[in-house]
């Protein structure tokens, strides 16, 4: 595998084709500064942004609430059932 673009840049490039108000679900081990910045930009552009944080960094989920980003933590397969998926 070669180098991949930063996820935040991919979101910025792709959002032009999305309908206003669309739901954007970010699934990642943690939200990097760039990805968090993009998520906040999406929110201010009228998108509904949710995050699913997977793994040990899932404890960061609660810190996203004040930013208007609902986040869920998935630390194990058992947590997936609690999400109602």
* Rounded-to-integer distance, Cα 47 and Cα 20, Å: 6
Model-level pTM? 0.77
Contact assessment for residue 36 and residue 65, using Cβ atoms and an 8 Å cutoff:
no
* 50 contact partners, CB below 8 Å, separation of at least 6: 23, 24, 25, 26, 69, 70, 71, 72
* Residue (of 44, 79, 39) closest to 58 by Cα position: 79
List, for residues 36-58, the tens digit of each pLDDT value.
999 999 999 999 999 988 876 66
Q: Is the pLDDT of residue 85 over 60?
A: no
* Confidence at residue 47, expressed as pLDDT on a 0 to 100 scale: 92
List, for residues 60-78, the tens digit of each pLDDT value.
778 888 888 888 888 777 7
* Confidence at residue 58, expressed as pLDDT on a 0 to 100 scale: 60
* Confidence at residue 1, expressed as pLDDT on a 0 to 100 scale: 62
């Amino acid at each position: 595998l070669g180098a991949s673009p930063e996820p935040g840049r991919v979101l910025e490039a792709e959002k032009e084709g999305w309908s206003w108000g669309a739901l954007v679900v970010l699934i990642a081990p943690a939200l990097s500064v760039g990805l968090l910045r993009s998520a906040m930009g999406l929110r201010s552009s009228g998108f509904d942004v949710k995050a699913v944080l997977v793994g040990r960094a899932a404890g960061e989920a609660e810190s996203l609430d004040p930013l208007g980003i609902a986040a869920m933590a998935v630390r194990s397969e058992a947590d997936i059932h609690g999400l109602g998926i």
